[in-house]
Amino acid sequence: MADRTLLGIVGSVSADSRTRTAVEVALEAAADTHGVDTDVLHLADYDLAVADGRGIDNHEGDTADALAQIVEADAYVVGTPVYRGSYSGALKNLLDMVPRGEWQGDVAPFENAAVGLVATGASDHHFLAVDQELRPAFAFFGAHAVGGATYASGDDFDGRELVDETVRERLATLGEATVELAAAIDESAALADLGPAI
């Protein structure tokens, strides 16, 4: 997968985002270990339309640019701050515009794609949001989520800097595992053809 793109999607609308820091740690490790190209789609940098059911070809400006990045990428590390026990509304809005191959467009970028999941929150009480909220959203698309997600709390940061080495190492492993899962999908007829359940 050395000639492929691993896209980090940061579901935060804060320019000074700890979630972005966490996603970038995963991307950097993936690039260093496996030589993949990486890019970041940080929702704070985009003025996205509100999802209204229109097809992917009917968007323009920042929304069209963001969706094009998703379509063109080969694998993903998706990070979100946790609000009210779930992923961000900004990320939900973006996901509501991503086509699934049956509606909103004839492409299905997340289908059979490798996705690493990252969440950040003020305290450790929110760590289950990854498995209870974010993982099912990507199952809907037929994505293959890396088995172990990573959660980082406010105590793991000093400002925006990630200072907890255990969390940093876990994020690095997540980035590498996402690339390795993508390669396994490429080599497996079954994994590459499983798709969404319905």
Write the CATH number for 41: 3.40.50.360
For residue 1, what pLDDT is reported? 59
Under the banding of pLDDT at 50, 70 and 90, the label for residue 76 is very high
Q: Could you read off the pLDDT of 107-144 as tens digits, one per residue?
A: 999 999 999 999 999 888 888 888 899 999 999 999 99
The span from the CA of 198 to the CA of 196, in Å, is 6
* Domain annotation covers residue 85: yes
The region that residue 195 occupies, defined by phi over 0 for left and psi between -120 and 50 for alpha, beta otherwise, is left
* Domain annotation covers residue 9: yes
* Domain annotation covers residue 143: yes
Mean pLDDT across the chain, nearest whole number?
Answer: 94
* Domain annotation covers residue 153: yes
Strands 144-145 and 114-121: parallel
Per-residue pLDDT at 102 exceeds 80:
no
Q: Which residues make Cβ contacts (< 8 Å) with residue 58, sequence separation at least 6?
A: none
* Domain annotation covers residue 146: yes
* Domain annotation covers residue 109: yes
* Domain annotation covers residue 22: yes
Domains in the chain, number: 1
Residue 83: give the domain boundaries. Answer: 5-193
* Domain annotation covers residue 198: no
